[in-house]
Amino acid sequence: MQPIGDELRWDSPPFEPTISNGRLVARGAIDDKCGVWVNLQAIDSILATCETLPINVKLFFDGEEELGSRNAAACIAANRDLLACDAVIISDGPFSVRQPVIGYALRGAISGEVRVQGPPHDLHSGRYGGAVKNPIHQLARIIASFHDESGRIQIRGLYDDILPMSDRQIRHMNELWKSIGPDLQRAAGVDAFFGDSLGVFAERTTSQPTLDAGGIVGGYWGQETPAIIPSAARCKVTIRTVARQDSDLMWSRFVDHVRSFAEPAISIETELFSIAHPFLMPDDGREIRAIQRALKEALGREALLMRHGGSLAIGGLLGRELGLPVTMFGYGSGANSHAPNEFIYVDDIQIATEVAIRLLFELGGDN
């Protein structure tokens, strides 16, 4: 769960659920307490009515999802027998009564830092400029080397092992894009995008690897303008990987590339912060077909299939450690996740719970 941020921007206490204009407002309401609540309500409802569930259910609550599920790997590895099952459905993501979506693929995310070290302390640029390498300049060269002019990543091997999309998956992508694409592009607030030679926007942001610098620090940032050669510079990076890529290998290749810029009087270090592995399940698998039937019965319509451009560490961990198919189907109908006044629509809670109940019966093969 995310922190509350600026409490003054909340219209009600963030940890005191408040009903306002048909909305239940609270931190974590949509991301992702609703996923826990709806599943528990569905199970309780079936047990109260039938006294037994139509399928064996195991619940795994990850309280560190927003922290990269940093302790989940050890827990999963130590409890493989307890967690043994046929498939995993992660109750995270949006829920819409108008047009539901099912997530069948997520990219992985590798987060780390590059540190460039020059002289042991800042130097006077009038005395040493032109003779001592500037770490900021070297860091700029490193970052500039990440991509060519078209936007293609220049790290050796970072496009290896990519699983191409099937014709059916491309049709899914194009159909979904008609619904969400224009709004998604407008929300970026920019006049132009890059990388068209690599594929359409939806493909570049969901099924291709990416590499981005997320922050740069170096030198002096006070109001004065000291003439210095700074001693060090660093940047944060994020690598998005796609299904079938080995995240550890991708990071190793990135490190090799960055360290190739080391030279006399310039040392380069890297630090790996976290890895979230990508995952992909068959877009026509048993679990997805069951979700579609449950939606058809409850809402009268089926979901569009979605490849998410983001990452979810727990999904990749469960799929990787247990060798299971993983899909995502969320029950959150609302907005402002990670922001003040996060909310879920009260009227949609009941219909989401109905879908969850029907899904359990569909998975159990019992109508």
Give me the tens of pLDDT residue by residue for the chain, a chain 367 residues long.
Answer: 688 889 999 999 999 999 999 999 999 999 889 999 999 999 999 999 999 999 999 999 998 888 888 899 899 999 999 999 998 999 998 899 998 999 899 999 999 999 999 999 999 999 999 999 999 999 999 999 999 999 999 999 999 999 889 999 999 999 988 888 888 888 889 999 999 999 999 999 999 999 999 999 999 887 777 789 999 999 999 999 998 999 999 999 999 999 999 999 999 999 999 999 998 888 888 999 999 999 999 999 999 999 999 888 999 899 888 888 888 999 999 999 888 999 999 999 999 999 999 999 999 985 5
DSSP 8-class letter at 166: P
Instruction: Indicate the burial class of 16 (C-beta count within 10 angstroms; 0-12, 13-18, 19 or more).
Output: exposed
Whether 157 and 253 have beta carbons less than 8 Å apart is answered as yes
- Cα–Cα nearest to 38, from 332, 281, 321, 248: 332
DSSP 8-class letter at 198: G
CA 278, CA 241: separation in Å to the nearest integer?
Answer: 6
- Cα–Cα nearest to 262, from 110, 356, 135, 90: 135
